[in-house]
């Protein structure tokens, strides 16, 4: 099958022009002006933007209690055609086996393409030795948690440095969740002892200094290992500034932020009757000054990508969040994969905070480069035909009834949005149209990532 998309405004991370795209099978074969080709299907995209399918480098399907891949239609409808999930490691389970187990949960189920990050949760020598073999199973990124002390997620500095040194040898990009676990533990116990249990104390127990300190420490460890570093879900101004400063000095230090840190503030945690539990995620939502700093950072390139940190908790608000008796035992996580494009475009492009080219860079191109997926996130000859035909004039409101994440609440409920994907193609096949999933579940494919991704491109010599 072949497809010709005509007369659209093609937007890439570096340019914008009116033209045509010709697709054969699953691949973009030609890009140009007034292409003269025979195609099985022709779509007139006059008045529409043609964007690369989104790459969400930060989702949780199954980890942290998130729903599994049967809800990946939410990504497709929202203009994301590739998701990069985390493969949690159980005790005594080899790292490579953990990845294969997570992939088995997605194969023949996911409606969009998928790839994986490795996660060390059983730090020991045999696991560290596996790091160099990650590219053999198509994984080129590795995440460790500096938070969650007392759980299997937590890794100390020794484990992080060990992992970094192995990762550097194999071209694997190191990722960290940077929050100081001891600050969080002590402050959590302090507030609980005073009877301060409301969701807003999730923020007070995880103040910006906890993120700032851990980010600085992670950077120091990366320098010691001479290893590139990608700090995930940056939310605090001071943490972002530490990344910016290290990068400006020539170190390969990078970071991402997430859509909720660009749109929601601590006020949402302070909603009455425990409703603030819907907004508990880690790091926590921050005051407006940090939101403004995140927009500044993505505009200037100090942060490289915007993920969703999607985690649609199994049971949702009533079944998971509301069962918490205080802020410390409410499950962390919010759905967001479906809303990422809408929020970035409406509150970034439409307000003049970022350009359309910067949007494409943050939403698709850079995430693909960070994780090592050269066939994704770009509109170019030879790339996968993952394409969004975007209607910039459509206006609507985000509601849970229109969301496909499969739970009972929507953190961005009531947000006005402008523009939506009119058609979404996954490797040349139509999978979503005007907010409705029209594809076939299970057609997503496991994408194998290549080592030496974007964070190695600027390697410190």
Q: What percent of the chain has a predicted confidence (pLDDT) above 70?
A: 99
User: Region 27-41: what's the mean pLDDT?
Assistant: 97
What letters, b where the CB count within 10 A reaches 16 and e where it falls short, cover 334-371? bbbbbbbbbbbbbbbbeeebbebbbbbbbbbbbbbbbb
Token pair belonging to 132:
């160099």
Write phi, then psi, for 140 (nearest 5 degrees): -130, 15
Residue 93 covered by a domain: yes
pLDDT digits (tens, 9 = 90+) for 99-121: 999 999 999 999 999 999 999 99
Residues 6+ apart with CB under 8 A from 327: 188, 191, 197, 198, 199, 200, 201, 202, 205, 277, 280
Cα separation, 426 vs 424, whole angstroms: 7
How sure is the predictor about 267, in pLDDT bands with cuts at 50, 70 and 90? very high
pLDDT at res. 35: 97
- State the residue range of the domain holding 116: 53-378
pLDDT at res. 458: 67
When divided into structural domains, the chain yields a total of 1
pLDDT at res. 327: 98
**Residues 390, 356 contacting (CB under 8 angstroms):** no
**Residues 286, 203 contacting (CB under 8 angstroms):** yes
> In what side-by-side order are the strands of the sheet with 54-59?
54-59, 80-87, 113-119, 141-145, 173-177, 229-231, 253-258, 305-307
Token pair belonging to 432:
């979503």
Residue 46 covered by a domain: no
With residue 187 as reference, give the H or E element that holds it: helix 181-193
Find where tokens 């099978």 sit.
25
With residue 214 as reference, give the H or E element that holds it: helix 208-225
Cα separation, 284 vs 282, whole angstroms: 5
Residue 275 covered by a domain: yes
pLDDT at res. 384: 98
Residue 7 has pLDDT above 80, yes or no: yes
pLDDT digits (tens, 9 = 90+) for 413-443: 999 999 999 999 999 999 999 999 999 999 9
> Hey, how many other C-beta atoms are within 10 angstroms of the C-beta on 296?
14
pLDDT digits (tens, 9 = 90+) for 137-162: 999 999 999 999 999 999 999 999 99
Residue 123 has pLDDT above 80, yes or no: yes
Residue 8 covered by a domain: no
Cα separation, 95 vs 399, whole angstroms: 39
For 81, half-sphere exposure in the C-beta direction (CA atoms, 13 angstrom radius) is 31
How sure is the predictor about 459, in pLDDT bands with cuts at 50, 70 and 90? low
Cα separation, 327 vs 329, whole angstroms: 6
Residue 176 covered by a domain: yes
Q: How far is CA 423 from CA 387, 389, 401, 443, in A?
A: 8, 5, 20, 17
CA torsion, points 444, 279, 360, 228, in degrees to nearest 10? Answer: -90
Find where tokens 């909603």 sit.
271
How sure is the predictor about 460, in pLDDT bands with cuts at 50, 70 and 90? very low
Residue 328 covered by a domain: yes
Strands 253-258 and 16-24: unpaired
Residues 6+ apart with CB under 8 A from 342: 78, 398, 415, 417, 419, 420
Residue 425 covered by a domain: no
Cα separation, 186 vs 183, whole angstroms: 5
Find where tokens 């003269």 sit.
36
What letters, b where the CB count within 10 A reaches 16 and e where it falls short, cover 200-236? bbbbbbbbbebbbbbbbbbbebbbebebbbbbbbbbb
Residue 283 covered by a domain: yes
Q: How far is CA 224 from CA 221, 255, 305, in A?
A: 5, 18, 25
How sure is the predictor about 249, in pLDDT bands with cuts at 50, 70 and 90? very high
**Under the phi-then-psi rule, with left for phi > 0, alpha for psi from -120 to 50, and beta for the rest, what region is 332?**
beta
For 77, half-sphere exposure in the C-beta direction (CA atoms, 13 angstrom radius) is 19
pLDDT at res. 134: 98
Judged by DSSP in three states, 263 sits in helix
pLDDT at res. 461: 39
Domain at 266, CATH number: 3.20.20.140
Cα separation, 263 vs 99, whole angstroms: 32
pLDDT, averaged across the chain: 97
Q: What is the largest CA-CA distance in the chain?
A: 73
pLDDT digits (tens, 9 = 90+) for 276-328: 999 999 999 999 999 999 999 999 999 999 999 999 999 999 999 999 999 99
């Amino acid at each position: 099958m072949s497809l010709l998309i005509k007369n659209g405004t093609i937007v890439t991370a570096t340019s914008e022009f009116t033209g045509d795209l010709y697709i054969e099978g699953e691949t973009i074969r030609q890009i140009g002006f007034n292409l003269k080709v025979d195609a099985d299907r022709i779509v007139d995209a006059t008045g529409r933007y043609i964007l690369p399918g989104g790459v969400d480098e930060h989702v949780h399907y199954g980890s942290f209690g998130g729903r599994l891949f049967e809800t990946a239609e939410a990504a497709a409808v929202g203009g994301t055609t590739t998701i990069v999930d985390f493969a949690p490691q159980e005790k005594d389970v080899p790292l490579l086996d953990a990845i294969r187990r997570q992939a088995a949960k997605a194969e023949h189920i996911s409606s969009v393409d998928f790839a994986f990050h490795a996660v060390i949760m059983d730090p020991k020598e045999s696991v560290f030795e596996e790091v160099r073999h990650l590219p053999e199973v198509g994984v080129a990124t590795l995440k460790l948690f500096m938070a969650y002390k007392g759980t299997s997620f937590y890794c100390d500095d020794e484990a992080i440095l060990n992992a970094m040194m192995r990762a550097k040898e194999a071209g694997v990009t190191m990722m960290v969740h940077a929050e100081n676990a001891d600050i969080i533990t002590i402050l959590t116990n302090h507030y609980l002892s005073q009877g301060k249990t409301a969701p807003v104390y999730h923020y007070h127990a995880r103040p910006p200094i906890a993120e700032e300190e851990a980010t600085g420490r992670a950077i120091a460890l990366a320098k010691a290992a001479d290893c590139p570093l990608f700090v995930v879900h940056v939310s605090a101004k001071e943490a972002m500034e530490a990344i910016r400063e290290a990068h400006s000095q020539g170190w390969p230090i990078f970071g991402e932020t997430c859509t909720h840190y660009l749109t929601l503030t601590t006020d949402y945690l302070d909603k009455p009757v425990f409703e603030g539990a819907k907004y508990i995620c880690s790091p926590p939502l921050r005051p407006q000054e940090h939101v403004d700093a995140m927009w500044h950072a993505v505009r200037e390139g100090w942060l490289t990508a915007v993920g969703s940190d999607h985690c649609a908790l199994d049971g949702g608000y009533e079944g998971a969040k509301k069962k918490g008796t205080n802020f410390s035992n409410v499950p962390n996580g919010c759905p967001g994969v479906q809303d990422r494009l809408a929020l970035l475009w409406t509150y970034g492009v439409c307000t003049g905070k970022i350009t359309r080219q910067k949007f494409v860079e943050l939403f698709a191109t850079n995430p693909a480069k960070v994780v090592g997926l050269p066939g994704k996130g770009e509109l170019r000859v030879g790339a996968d035909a993952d394409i969004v035909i975007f209607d910039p004039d459509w206006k609507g409101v985000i509601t849970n009834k229109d969301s496909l994440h499969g739970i009972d609440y929507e953190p961005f409920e009531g947000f006005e949005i402008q523009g939506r994907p009119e058609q979404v193609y996954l490797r040349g096949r139509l999978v979503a149209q005007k907010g409705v999933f029209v594809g076939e579940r299970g057609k997503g494919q496991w994408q194998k990532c290549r080592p030496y991704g974007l964070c190695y491109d600027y390697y410190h010599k």
